[in-house]
Amino acid sequence: MKHIVVAGIGTEIGKTFISAILVEALEADYWKPVQAGNLDCTDTDFIKQHISNQKTVCHPEGYRLLAPMSPHAAAKAEGICIDIEKLNIPLTSNYLIIELAGGIMVPLNNKHLNIDLISKWQLPLILVSENYLGSINHTLLSVELLKNKKINIMGIIFNGDSNPATEELIINYTGLPCLAKICKQKMVGKETVSQLAHELKNVINQFVR
């Protein structure tokens, strides 16, 4: 389990923040296959700016797209078609955190979604959930689809304001372990990521060693 996919139940739920914590905890490499928008401050840039270890290598994105849109639409705007066969995992002997763009059903082109990329790689996956109205539905649907595709789900990380009733229902219904509950941070810097990585390290090591 040296390579781990980080996927979310939707977009803007803190996958990059969680990825930074995982990267720091494992001193892992990082790769974002598709970056859509914010090319002046990418998710890869965020990782570089928020980790403290000297071992991590951030690998170049497979596709860098200008528009902050769904990957398939951002690519189409530039006359590009994302080819999932060309999204090959970077060669590394280190742990590798792979952060997807958006949720697992986000389209990459007219035929393929993120779930197809996950199925192609057959790598273990950590699902990031966030508590909001509708998040139970989104989380359970994501888990059901991943299980149907026989994807190895390592567990769920809840990010943001805690809702114990929601989290308990999701964990009990899915039977998946809760790897962490990361509360909403007032400020995020290297110190925050380092502290949370230290707290998460022992839990993650149970799954990857």
CA angle 156, 162, 164 (to 5 degrees): 80
**Helices H / strands E in the chain, number of each:** 7, 9
Q: Give the sign of the dihedral formed by CA 197, CA 26, CA 24, CA 143.
A: negative
Is residue 22 within 8 Å of 28, Cβ to Cβ? yes
Give me the amino acid identity at 201.
K
- Is 32 annotated as catalytic? yes
CB 56 within 8 A of CB 23: yes
Q: At what angle do helices 135-148 and 114-121 cross, to 10 degrees?
A: 40
Catalytically annotated residue among 2, 15, 32, 76? 32
The answer to whether 87 and 96 are in contact (CB under 8 A) is no
Give the catalytic positions in this structure: 32
